[in-house]
Structures are given as structure tokens and as C-alpha cells.
Structure 1
Amino acid sequence: MTIHDIQQILDARWIYGEELADREVHTACGSDMMSDVLAFVKDQSVLLTGLVNPQVVRTAEMMDMVCIVFVRGKTPDENITALARRGEIALLCTDERMFTACGKLYAAGLSGGVGERLS
């Protein structure tokens, strides 16, 4: 699946990174707790979150993620967008709730990672 596919499935708006739309995404993680993201996520993932602060982008960058989707219509400010731009992490915004957004991506074939669980 590509970032463009995710944008289409979630009817999301581009905040940054439309030129990154062809990047592959293999797994997804939905969380507002960055400690859970650090314990779970592998590279080439998308993070779905309602948390809008710089730590989200810093966490995504540490985990080599390629895209962040802000759920519930949340929109990051320019400081957060600038961090994502520097790290070449695509940013999307959807009006979907986290549960619905994750469900739509799962139904479209995106997994959360085989056999991986949070403790």
C-alpha cells in the first residue's frame, strides 16, 4: 500500500508530503501514547494519532516511519509541519475517528504487524 492509497481510503487532506505519495507503507499503528509506538512500530509504517505535538514527529522519525495521519480532524501547526518536512515524513489529516480509520486501513489490507503485540 502507498501513502496515496491511505490518503484515498481515509479521504484525508494533505498537510505535507504529496510528493512522497508513492512511498510504500507495510504496517500501521494507531496510538496517542508515544511510548506504545516506540515499543511496537517497525519502519515503513504509518502512525495514526490524535496527538498534535512535536513529540509525535520526533517519535515517527526515530522509528523510520513514512507517514503520520492525524485523526478526528486535528491539524498540526507550522512547527510540527516543519519538523516533518525536515524528516521527510508525510502528514495527512482525516475527520475519521481513530478506530474507524484503523478499521478502514485494516479492511484494505494494511496490517499492524504479524504476531506483534504491545505488552
Structure 2
Amino acid sequence: MNLKEVKQLLDAEVLVGEDSLDREVKTVFACDLMSDVLAFVEDKTILLTGLVNPHTIRTAEMMDINAVVFVRGKTPDEETLKLARETGVVILTTRHILYNSCGILYSNGLCGANIVHR
């Protein structure tokens, strides 16, 4: 699946990275605690979260996360969007809650990311 399909499935709006929607997505990780994001390593993962701050983008960049989808209609401030542009992290927002967003993506073939115990 690619980010364009994710956008369509979640009825999402692209805030940053419209030209990168062809990126492949293999797995999804969903949480609001960025320290939990650091507990996994997967290739071609997207992050679903309600946490809309620069720390989310920094974590995504550090973990090579393809894109961040902000749930519950949340939109980040301009500082966070600027950081996403600078780091190449695609940002989408959806009105769906976290639980429903995960269910939609799972029912359309995306699996959850595996936890790597360190």
C-alpha cells in the first residue's frame, strides 16, 4: 500500500508531503507516547498519533518513519509543520479516532509494527 491509499482510506488531508504520496507503507504503529515508538524498528512504517508537537517529528525522523497521521482532526502548529518539511516526513490528518484509524488500515491489509525488545 502507498500513502495515497492511506490518505483515501482515512479520508485524510495532506499537510506536508503531497509530492511523496507514492511512498510504500508496510506497517502501522499507533500511540501517543513517543518513548514507545523507540521500542520498535520496522521498514516503511507510518505512525498514527494524537500528539502534535515537534518531538513527534523528531522521533519519526530518528526511526525512519515514512509518515505521521494525526488523528481526531488534530493539526500541528507551524513550527512542527516546518520541521516535517525540513526532515521529509509526510504529515496527514484525519477526523477518525486512533482506534478506528487502526481498524480501517488493518482491515485493508496493513499490519501492526513488531515490537523489538532491547
TM-score bracket, normalised by the shorter chain, equals over 0.9
Contact kept in structure 1, 2:75 and 2:93, CA below 8 Å: yes
- Which secondary structure does the structure 1 equivalent of 2:84 belong to? helix
Partner residue of 2:108?
108
> Which has the higher mean CA deviation after the structures are superposed, 34-43 or 70-79?
34-43
Task: Sort the Cα spacing of 1:50 and 1:6 in 2 relative to 1 into closer, same or farther, 3 A.
Answer: same
How far apart are the structure 1 equivalents of 2:34 and 2:41? 10
Give the distance between the partners of 1:10 and 1:69, measured in 2 at CA: 9
One-letter amino acid matched to 1:81: L
- Identify if the C-alpha distance between structure 1 residues 117 and 65 changes in structure 2 by more than 3 Å, giving closer, same or farther: closer
- Shift of residue 118, structure 1, vs aligned partner: 7.2
Give the C-alpha shift of residue 43 in structure 1: 3.0
Distance 2:63 2:96 in 1: 24
* TM-superposed deviation, 1:40: 1.8
Deviations 1:76-100 (A, max 9, x none): 1111011111111110000000000
TM score, norm. by length of structure 1: 0.94
Over 3 Å counting, the alpha-carbon distance change for 1:95 and 1:41 in structure 2 is: farther
Contact 1:36 1:118 in 2 (8 A): no
Instruction: State the identity %.
Output: 50
RMSD: 1.2
Paired positions, count: 117
Structure 2 partner of 1:62: 62
Matches within 5 A, 1:1-119: 1-113=1-113, 116-117=114-115
- TM-score, with structure 2 as normaliser: 0.94
Distance 1:42 1:35 in 2: 15
Structure 1: state its 5+ residue gaps.
none
> Alpha carbons of 1:41 and 1:49: their partners in 2 closer, same or farther (altered >3 Å)?
farther
Moved over 2 A (4+): 116-119
Q: Matched residues in 1 for 2:53 and 2:87: separation?
A: 15
CA distance in 1, matches of 2:76, 2:6: 18
Gaps of 5+ in 2: none
Q: Partners in 1 of 2:43 and 2:97 — Cα distance?
A: 24
